[in-house]
Amino acid sequence: SEYLARAKALNGELNAFITLDEDKTLAEAKAADVMLAGSTAGPLTGVPIAQKDIFCQQGWKTTCGSKMLDNFVAPYDANVIELCRKAGLVSLGRTNMDEFAMGSSNENSFYGAVKNPWDKLAVPGGSSGGSAAAVAARLAPIATATDTGGSIRQPAAFCGVTGIKPTYGIVSRFGMIAFASSLDQGGPIGKSAEDCALLLNVMAGYDERDSTSLEHAKEDYSRDLNAPLAGLRIGLPKEYFAEGLASDVAAAVDAAISEYKKLGATIVEVSLPNTKLSIPAYYVIAPAEASSNLSRFDGVRYGHRAAEYSGLADMYEKSRAEGFGAEVKRRILTGTYVLSHGYYDAYYLQAQKIRRIIANDFQAAFEHCDLIAGPVAPTAAWNLGEKNADPTAMYLEDIYTLAVNLAGLPGMSLPAGFAANGRPVGLQLIGNYFSEAKMLNAAHQLQ
Ligand code: GLN
């Protein structure tokens, strides 16, 4: 009740939630009470959670930030939602996001931008800006989110909270509305690494309904939180500290690295030589996959349908023209272009080759270190409206986050202080496959 009251009171100014539904939340709370009275309760039973509006949740409006799904009430639960229910977590509402998770500032939402709770002139980051802002403003203790190219880590950094994007395949994509299926991965956002570990324990697990779900043994991601860091080798990629990184962000990241030295870690320089290529490769592959995934929104079975049309083709065209926003249309156009006959080899195939090279670069770096550390984004949160008119300027902000998704690696963001303008700065940790527990350990030791 306390969280609901706070969410209701503050959502008007922050716009972190697209949907709040008190009756549904209280019904889930009652179910949690029953669990607490019986023998099925777990560590998070009764804890309220904000759900990103990308996860289908039975009976709840599930919009993915789009006009296309403004009338869509999900008839089934995503695997992540199902697992949250089983754990007795209580859904507070559905968080705002960039339309179909495409964006880095949350300004692409059909429901309007989210405001950064630290400074309401600033963007919260994206696409999981609603989840990050809700946790930062204490409208929710914890939230679900997704990360295709940084959408957990960058909003967590901009809002001064913690988030982890797990190894690709750890969290089921069943019922998670697809953007770029080979990159999409769900994960938690919380106040701390410890909270993220507890929620990841709930979210992770093999699911046969997701063909890329990994048959990986269940882990307790909180098991190493208190392990000492002595001997840990942290690699700093020289390309992440080069031109383009704002000096105040660099200072905050350096200060965090100094703390790691004090805790006994060894710092080594590593190289990720193809970092710059991650932007063109990602912005070919992600739109290509999106253009295919979004073909399902045709106005026939569900979603927006134009009121007036003449014939089937006209119905498709009008429904899609009205239902999708500008950035989504840009991605569909780019994606169909790079997949089309005559361009596939020149763009899509080249991008896939770069993807492999980038994955190999990380493996070479991990021969010299256990974890990689660096900035999450080149700057702290920018002002609302500042980069809206220039999509390429917005894409360039993703320079430090995209490679992790291309390689399928786990990455996280934790608070690392503040920029000169008082806005939060995040530290990014990147691990090799399945090193979530080690990353959460390193994050927890700094908190
Ligand atoms: N900013 C990136 C994009 O717009 C990543 C978004 C995401 O991770 N969902 O595609």
CA dist., res. 254 & res. 374, Å (int): 9
Q: What is the DSSP string of 166-196?
A: PSTTSB--TTBPPSSTTT--EEEEESSHHHH
For ligand 1, the distance from its centroid to the CA atom of residue 100, given in whole angstroms, is 9
Q: End-to-end CA distance of the chain: give it in Å, rounded.
A: 29
- Model confidence at 6, pLDDT cuts 50, 70, 90, reads very high
CA dist., res. 121 & res. 421, Å (int): 12
For ligand 1, the distance from its centroid to the CA atom of residue 430, given in whole angstroms, is 18
- What pTM was computed for the model? 0.98
CA dist., res. 362 & res. 364, Å (int): 5
For ligand 1, the distance from its centroid to the CA atom of residue 189, given in whole angstroms, is 16
User: What ligand 1 atom has the least distance to the C-alpha of 286?
Assistant: 10
Q: Which of 105, 127, 213, 413 is catalytic?
A: 127
- Model confidence at 423, pLDDT cuts 50, 70, 90, reads very high
Q: Which of 52, 318, 387, 438 is catalytic?
A: 52
User: Ligand 1 test: best mutation among 96, 109, 148, most atoms within 8 Å of CB?
Assistant: 148
For ligand 1, the distance from its centroid to the CA atom of residue 200, given in whole angstroms, is 21
Q: Give the tens place of pLDDT for each residue, 175-211.
A: 999 999 999 999 999 999 999 999 999 999 999 999 9
Q: Give the tens place of pLDDT for each residue, 375-394.
A: 999 999 999 999 988 999 99
Q: What is the pLDDT of residue 5?
A: 97
Q: What is the pLDDT of residue 56?
A: 98
| 69 contacts 56 by C-beta, under 8 angstroms | no
Q: Give the tens place of pLDDT for each residue, 335-379.
A: 999 999 999 999 999 999 999 999 999 999 999 999 999 999 999
For 66-71, what is the mean pLDDT? 98
User: Ligand 1 test: best mutation among 398, 400, 404, most atoms within 8 Å of CB?
Assistant: 398
Q: Which of 66, 131, 151, 291 is catalytic?
A: 151
For ligand 1, the distance from its centroid to the CA atom of residue 438, given in whole angstroms, is 25
Q: Give the tens place of pLDDT for each residue, 35-45.
A: 999 999 999 99
Percent of the residues in the chain that have a pLDDT greater than 90, as a whole number? 100
User: What ligand 1 atom has the least distance to the C-alpha of 104?
Assistant: 1
Q: Give the tens place of pLDDT for each residue, 286-331.
A: 999 999 999 999 999 999 999 999 999 999 999 999 999 999 999 9
For 122-149, what is the mean pLDDT? 98
- Model confidence at 284, pLDDT cuts 50, 70, 90, reads very high
Q: Give the tens place of pLDDT for each residue, 7-20.
A: 999 999 999 999 99
Q: What would the two tokens of residue 221 be?
A: 């991601």
Residue 7's SS3 state is helix
The interface pTM score, or ipTM, of the predicted complex is 0.98
| 119 contacts 381 by C-beta, under 8 angstroms | yes
Q: What is the pLDDT of residue 245?
A: 97
Q: Which domains does the chain have, with CATH numbers?
A: 2-203 (3.90.1300.10)
- Model confidence at 222, pLDDT cuts 50, 70, 90, reads very high
Told to judge if 52 belongs to the known catalytic residues of this protein, a careful annotator would answer yes
Q: What is the pLDDT of residue 414?
A: 98
Pocket of ligand 1 (CB under 6 A): 101-104, 127, 147-151, 179, 286, 398
Q: Give the tens place of pLDDT for each residue, 74-92.
A: 999 999 999 999 999 999 9
| 423 contacts 118 by C-beta, under 8 angstroms | yes
Told to judge if 127 belongs to the known catalytic residues of this protein, a careful annotator would answer yes
Q: What is the pLDDT of residue 30?
A: 97
